[in-house]
């Protein structure tokens, strides 16, 4: 055996010596390695509190639906309850990253439950979302980029209303249950995982069919799941719109392709701090509860956040109007 001396590297400067990291091309703000390592620390406590409060809100607004079910207040009550329920999206997203809980079994259990509520098969979502982080807002490469510039008002309205959501979700679950995947899907889904996605899709499809059949006999699945899920989807979609809509495309720079917004306490609770969306894309290993602290560290290097969800959607609608004359216009605030 031969003995050769290695070039030792401290953790502080190690990345500079790793010359062929494919993600080095992306914009990265300056942050101390030890600070970042501290921000990445996982806990169970933060997510348990967030999850618990969300469940309490679901129970309270759901009880409201039950109480007013024979009055004209039923529809507003279902909208309110559905709005809260659909933020299962945010919990599911954090669990897809595996950063919500330190305990893996908790992370995966909550991932399954919230994915069932949001109607998206979890393993497929984990892979497609990984693709989204690899190719954020690159046309034809980002598997979670459903629209691009120039955006049309009809597309904005259909995305916001979720009108096509049930059809798309049902069609995808049905396809995956039959083992059929599109060319783009097989690009990011390893062959060895396809069987698991097919199995999961069948389990989920059976759950929804069971709920639908139950809904024919009893009204509860409709007034406590399907209709609120549809109505409330509009609210969470307004938040999802703010993430990348009308931002620059095809650039390895999250400051230009992604948008952060300000949010009140309740919004940040329901949305699991995803209003810090640029920060999340820059450092996806930082859990949701540390994103405000991450913002405090690197916020001065990023564009200022938009005032809120309404302001961001107004900005988007104005951009759609402007894109009719200038298809290349986008809302990036970094040159």
Partner 1 sequence: MTELIKVPKGEELGDGAMLAVSALGRHIIVYRVGGSYFATDRRCTHQSADLMRGYFDQNVIECPVHQGRFNVCTGAALSAPASTPLRTYSVKIIDGVMFVEV
Residues that bind partner 1 (CB under 8 A): 1-11, 14-15, 17-18, 20-23, 37, 40, 42, 97-99, 102, 104, 123, 126-127, 130, 133-134, 188, 190, 192-193, 283-285
Measured between alpha carbons, how far is 281 from 90 in angstroms, rounded to an integer? 15
CB of 324 within 8 A of CB of 155? no
Q: How far is the CB of 128 from partner 1 (least distance, A)?
A: 10
Q: In terms of CB distance, is 6 or 328 closer to partner 1?
A: 6
Q: How far is the CB of 135 from partner 1 (least distance, A)?
A: 10
Q: In terms of CB distance, is 130 or 234 closer to partner 1?
A: 130
Six-digit token pair at 56? 């309490």
What per-residue string of b and e applies to 109-119 under the rule 16 or more CB within 10 Å gives b?
A: ebbbbbbbbbb
Q: How far is the CB of 99 from partner 1 (least distance, A)?
A: 7
Q: In terms of CB distance, is 12 or 157 closer to partner 1?
A: 12
Q: In terms of CB distance, is 20 or 70 closer to partner 1?
A: 20
Q: How far is the CB of 28 from partner 1 (least distance, A)?
A: 10
67 three-class SS: helix
Q: How far is the CB of 321 from partner 1 (least distance, A)?
A: 36
Query: Which ranges of 162-275 would DSSP assign to H, the alpha helix?
Result: 165-177, 183-188, 191-217, 220-221, 227-244, 254-257, 265-270
Measured between alpha carbons, how far is 139 from 317 in angstroms, rounded to an integer? 21
Q: In terms of CB distance, is 134 or 144 closer to partner 1?
A: 134
76, 117, 157, 261, 316 from 310: Cα distances, Å: 20, 25, 14, 10, 10
């Amino acid at each position: 055996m031969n003995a050769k001396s290695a070039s030792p590297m401290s953790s502080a400067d190690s990345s500079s010596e790793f010359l062929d990291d494919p993600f080095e091309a992306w914009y990265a703000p300056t942050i101390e390695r030890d600070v970042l390592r501290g921000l990445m620390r996982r806990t169970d406590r933060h997510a348990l509190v967030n999850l618990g409060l969300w469940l309490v809100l679901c129970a309270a607004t759901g009880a409201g639906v039950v109480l007013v079910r024979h009055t004209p207040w039923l529809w507003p009550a279902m909208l309110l309850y559905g709005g809260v329920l659909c933020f299962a999206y945010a919990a599911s997203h954090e669990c897809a990253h595996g950063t919500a809980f330190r305990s893996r079994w908790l992370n995966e259990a909550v991932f399954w439950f919230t994915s069932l509520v949001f109607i998206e098969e979890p393993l497929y979502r984990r892979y497609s979302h990984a693709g989204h982080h690899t190719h954020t807002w690159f046309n034809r490469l980002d598997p979670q980029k459903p629209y691009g510039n120039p955006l049309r008002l009809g597309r904005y309205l259909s995305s916001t209303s979720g009108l096509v959501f049930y059809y798309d979700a049902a069609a995808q679950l049905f396809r995956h249950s039959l083992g059929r995947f599109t060319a783009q899907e097989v690009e990011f889904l390893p062959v060895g995982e396809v069987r698991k996605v097919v199995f999961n899709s069948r389990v989920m499809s059976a759950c929804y069919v069971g709920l639908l059949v139950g809904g024919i006999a009893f009204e509860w699945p409709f007034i406590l799941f399907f209709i609120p899920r549809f109505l409330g989807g509009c609210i969470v979609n307004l938040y999802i719109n703010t993430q990348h809509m009308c931002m620059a495309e095809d650039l390895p720079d999250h400051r230009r392709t992604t948008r952060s917004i300000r949010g009140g306490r309740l919004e940040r609770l329901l949305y699991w701090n995803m209003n810090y969306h640029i920060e999340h894309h820059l450092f996806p290993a930082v859990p949701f509860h540390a994103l405000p602290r991450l913002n405090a560290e690197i916020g001065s290097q990023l564009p200022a956040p938009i005032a809120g969800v309404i302001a961001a959607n107004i900005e988007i609608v104005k951009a759609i109007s402007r894109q009719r004359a200038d298809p290349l216009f986008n809302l990036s605030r970094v040159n």
